Amino acid sequence: MRTPAATLLRTADAVARLGSSPASYAALPKQDLLDALQVISDARRCCDTMTAAIAAELSRRSAPDLGSAGLAQQEGYRTPQAMVEAITGTTKGGAVSIVEVGKMLAETDAVETLKREHPELPAPPTPWQAPIAHAVRDGKVSIAQADAIRAGLGLPTDSVPPEALSEAAIELIEDAITLTAGQLHRRARQLRDDLNDTEVADREKAQLDQQHLKAWKRPDGMVEGKFLYAPEPGAFLLSVLDELTNPRRGGPRFVKEEDRARIDAIVNDARSTERLAADGFLELLRIGADADPGQVFGSRRPAVRVIVTKETLESGDGHGSIQDTGEAVSIGTIRREICSTGTVAVVLDDDGQCVNVGREQRLFTARQRIGLAVRDGGCMWPGCDRPPSWCEAHHINQWKRDHGKTDIADGVLLCKHHHLLLHNNGWDITRTGGKYLLFPPRSISPNREPRHLGTKSRTVQDWNARRHRLRDLHPAPPPEPARLGD
């Protein structure tokens, strides 16, 4: 086996023979030129691998528990990564990759050395990252690619065993030759998602919990802010911003005549693209704040497309993905989206050719939504006070049974939060006559004790109360039904 030191010595000799200026390379025969490139590339990979291993050792000697006695700390750096960044001249992210890949190399090497030198001892299991460490050492993947695979695949858990991650890593290493680090990272995350669907739902929930939006006033009176959104709502936000500034960024080339004026206006606007986005965003908030809370939006829905196979949708096993970003989306979120926005069926044949694109199946019309808004008065979830404009229409018959048939009696308004909770956590709503019952999952109520869902509309509540009073006074006949909304 050739050691890194031997490779570097060989390189030094070969480079010395080549001469040291572009003029001397101009005189080289073709084969010498190609050999030179090979030798130098080998040496560079060898240097990268050694840099990573050394960075990992530096990190070990700078462990947080050593405090100011740590190596990096003594040299005046806050972290070993900062020290690697400064010395190697790489980026912050590059330094993190070097240290992380170095740790994989060190862990794999430690176990393999122990097994080799002390076969009699009970050996610890080979780290799952071993294939990645080997690929780095053999020059099959760069440091950046190796770290992309490691970070994308994540850590083993009870449901994703180390062996499964090793297998996925081997598959990714084979693809590495044609993929950039960024593409590998995305592919690795997709493979991870394929290994475990509950993780997709759990991650989605954790990401939703991290969502925040903060705005504060600066000393000069300007308002600044920051926010964080999970992939699916985030994709919606991006699509809105896109819509506001689209023609600026190379926008649509083929446009309808009637859109031309709007697009020209945006392209010729003297404001910066960021300024356009800021102004447009505020305008949307203004429109939203002025909107009638008795209206259920929903006729114009976000341009986020989620793709899922019929098989996954019917079985509930698996997940779908956001069309533009490839991010995984849990089956619960997909069902929520379908419940409130409908579907378009796309049929592919065995060769993956598209043979049919069905018509959009919308579940509730704009008129039916107005009816729901009046009847329910907002989110029907017990204790929730979101008005109709915050709500989506949940279809109480599951998508499988409805096939586009939509009766307003089978719709219930739920705010986005409760709609997601319902689809993700196994709640159910059923209807008996005109009454709606909410059934909790067994984890919350072992006997699934149903809860009554009452309207939030003051008008309907008052009318119901009056009807009951009348019924008590005059047991028969029942009063004429009141007409709402006229």
3-state secondary structure the chain: CCCHHHHHHHHHHHHHHHCCCHHHHHCCCHHHHHHHHHHHHHHHHHHHHHHHHHHHHHHHCCCHHHHHHCHHHHCCCCCHHHHHHHHHCCCHHHHHHHHHHHHHHHHHHHHHHHHHHCCCCCCCCCCCCHHHHHHHHCCCCCHHHHHHHHHHHCCCCCCCCHHHHHHHHHHHHHHHHHCCHHHHHHHHHHHHHHHCHHHHHHHHHHHHHHCEEEEEECCCCCEEEEEECCHHHHHHHHHHHHHHHHHHHCCCCCCCHHHHHHHHHHHHCCCCHHHHHHHHHHHHHHHHHHCCCCCCCCCCCCCCCEECCHHHHHHCCCCEEECCCCCEECHHHHHHHHHHHCECCEEECCCCCEEEECCCECCCCHHHHHHHHHHHCCCCCCCCCCCHHHEEEEECCCHHHHCCCCCHHHEEEEEHHHHHHHHHCCCEEEEECCEEEEECCCCCCCCCCCEEECCCCHHHHHHHHHHHHHHHHCCCCCCCCCCCCC
Q: What would the x/- binding string for Zn ion be over residues 396 to 415, using CB under 5 A?
A: -------------------x
Which region among 101-109, 241-249, 387-395, 452-460 touches Zn ion (by CB under 5 A)?
A: 387-395
418 binds Zn ion (CB under 5 A): yes
Given candidates 98, 106, 379, 420, which one binds Zn ion under the rule CB under 5 A? Answer: 379
Provide, rounded to whole angstroms, the least separation between the CB of residue 324 and Zn ion: 24
Which of the stretches 116-124, 213-221, 287-295, 376-384 binds Zn ion when contact is defined by CB under 5 A?
376-384
Q: Work out which of 52, 184, 339, 438 binds Zn ion, going by CB under 5 A.
A: 339
- # binding residues, Zn ion (CB under 5 A): 8
CB of 446 to Zn ion, least distance (A): 24
Residue closer to Zn ion, measured from CB, 231 or 387: 387
Nearer to Zn ion, 77 or 436 (CB): 436
381 binds Zn ion, rule: CB under 5 A: yes
Find the shortest distance in angstroms from Cβ 451 to Zn ion.
13
Residue whose CB is less far from Zn ion, 36 or 384? 384
> Smallest gap, in angstroms, from Cβ of residue 215 to Zn ion?
24
Least gap, CB of 241 to Zn ion (angstroms) = 27
Nearer to Zn ion, 375 or 394 (CB): 394
Note whether 134 binds Zn ion by CB under 5 A: no
Q: Which of 204, 394, 399, 436 binds Zn ion (CB under 5 A)?
A: 394
Query: Which CB, 77 or 390, lies closer to Zn ion?
Result: 390
Q: Applying CB under 5 A, does 369 fall inside the site for Zn ion? A: no
Return the residue of 8, 384, 408, 460 that touches Zn ion, per CB under 5 A.
384
Write down the least CB distance from residue 344 to Zn ion, Å: 18
Q: Which residues bind Zn ion (CB under 5 A)?
A: 339, 379, 381, 384, 386, 394, 415, 418
